[in-house]
A = this chain, B = another copy of it.
Amino acid sequence: MDIEKKNTFVGLVIVNTGDGKGKTTSAIGQAIRAAGNGFKVCFIQFIKGKWLTGEAKLLRGLDLIEFHTMGTGFTWLSEDKIEIIAKGREAWKLAEQKVMSGSYDLVVLDELTYLISYQIIPEDSLLELIRKKPAAVHLVITGRGASSGLIDAADLVTEMKQIKHPYKEGIKAQKGIEF
């Protein structure tokens, strides 16, 4: 981080990673906090199951946050790998465009790390976006297994670590809590 960045308004690069809960929900909270302070927020969910998440239902109804999901019915369990790759790259293009537009104070790239893990986009594309983005834009990037290049480029990195999880005790995922 150079001196100039320290002394001017800084758009932070925030990463929520780790195997525990709270990566996406924390990004939602960050988006709500920012919007509550009058920030313009764009939230892009790269991964989406068959259901419409609770946050999607609510946030889509708010004027304050622009909300995008990758595509209807998309899931990593899908067997159509070509479709996954195409949709992943399409979502990434949208993300680049939103970040570079300068129209937002905060852009959330939810579960973006999987696109890198699954080699749908190269890590370099993300690092390049971080370098060239408008200085004031904050980025929140979530997902397991954040790559080392991303961690180096980030300002704030939090690992969500699972200490105790109810699935291990035989409780199923619950609507309203898990999705």
Contacts and interface: CB of A to CB of B under 8 A. Distances in A.
Interface of A: 1, 6, 10, 12, 14, 16-18, 20-30, 32-39, 53-59, 64, 105-106, 138, 151, 154-166, 169-171, 174-177, 179
B32 A59 contact: yes
Main secondary structure of the interface of A (DSSP, over half): mixed
Interchain residue pairs A-B with the least CB separation, the first 4: A25-B29, A28-B29, A36-B54, A36-B58
15 contacts: A14-B21, A20-B158, A22-B160, A25-B28, A28-B32, A29-B55, A30-B177, A32-B32, A32-B58, A33-B177, A34-B176, A36-B58, A151-B164, A159-B160, A160-B160
Contacts of A56: 36
Given A6-B169, A155-B171, A164-B154, A176 B37 contact: yes
Nearest to A159: B161
Contacts of A176: 33-34, 37-39, 105-106, 138
A36 to B, nearest CB: 3
A55 B54 CA distance: 18
Nearest to A51: B37
A170 to B, nearest CB: 5
A25 to B, nearest CB: 3
Contact of A57 (B17, B36, B157, B163): B36
A20 B159 contact: yes
A88 B6 CA distance: 37
Contacts of A30: 25, 177
B171 A10 contact: yes
Contacts of A164: 151, 154-157
User: By CB atoms of chain B within 10 A, which of A27, A151, A171, A179 has the most?
Assistant: A171
